Amino acid sequence: MHRHPDWDTRLAAYLESIRLRAFEWGGHDCCLFAAGAVLAMTGDDPMAEFRGRYSTALGAARALTRIGAGSLAATMDAKFERVGPLLAHRGDIVMTSGLLAICLGLHLVAVGAEGEHEGLIRLDRDPALETAAWRVPY
C-alpha cells in the first residue's frame, strides 16, 4: 500500500464527497471513514473485511474482536505503522478522544456533529487528546 502521486487531490475529493454524510455504524463511522480516506489516497481498502459486518456499537466491538485484533487501536497497529501523534502528517490517521480522524496538518477531520450540522467536522489538534497515530505509507 502506497499513496498515489496525486493523493492530496484524491483525499480532498473524498472529503468533499462525504462532507454532509451523517454518522452511521457500519456505514460511515470513524473506522470506515478513515479507511475510505486511505482507499482514496492509495487505492487499497484496509478495512474491507469490516464493511457490511456490523450496524451498531456492540456489533462494531464484536467485529473488532472477531475480525480485527481485539480493539480499534490494536487493529490499526496490525495494519499500519504507529507513529507518535505529534509526528502525524497530512493524510495520516490519528486517534483522538477514542475516535479515528484524518490529519490535515494543524487540524483533524472526523465524522461527528457540531450543533445541528452532521457530517465531517474539523477538530483543532490537541496533544492531550491524541493517543495514537498511524502513517499511511508514501
pLDDT means per 10 residues, the chain with 138 residues, are 98 98 97 98 98 97 97 98 97 97 97 92 95 97
**Among the listed residues 41, 25, 18, 45, the one whose alpha carbon sits nearest the alpha carbon of residue 109:** 18
What is the model's pLDDT at position 104?
Answer: 98
What is the model's pLDDT at position 1?
Answer: 94
**Among the listed residues 38, 62, 37, the one whose alpha carbon sits nearest the alpha carbon of residue 50:** 62
Phi, psi (degrees; rounded to nearest 5) at 137: -60, 145
Which residue ranges make up each domain of the chain?
Answer: 7-135
Concatenating the DSSP letter of every residue in 66-100 gives HTSSSSHHHHHHHHSEEE-GGGPPTT-EEEETTEE
What is the model's pLDDT at position 117?
Answer: 87
The b/e string for 2-11 (b: 16+ C-beta within 10 A; e otherwise) is ebeeebeebb
Say how far residue 5 (Cα) sits from the centre of its chain.
Answer: 20
- Which superfamily is assigned to 7-135 in CATH? endopeptidase domain like (from Nostoc punctiforme) (3.90.1720.10)
Block residue for cell numbers 450496524: 55
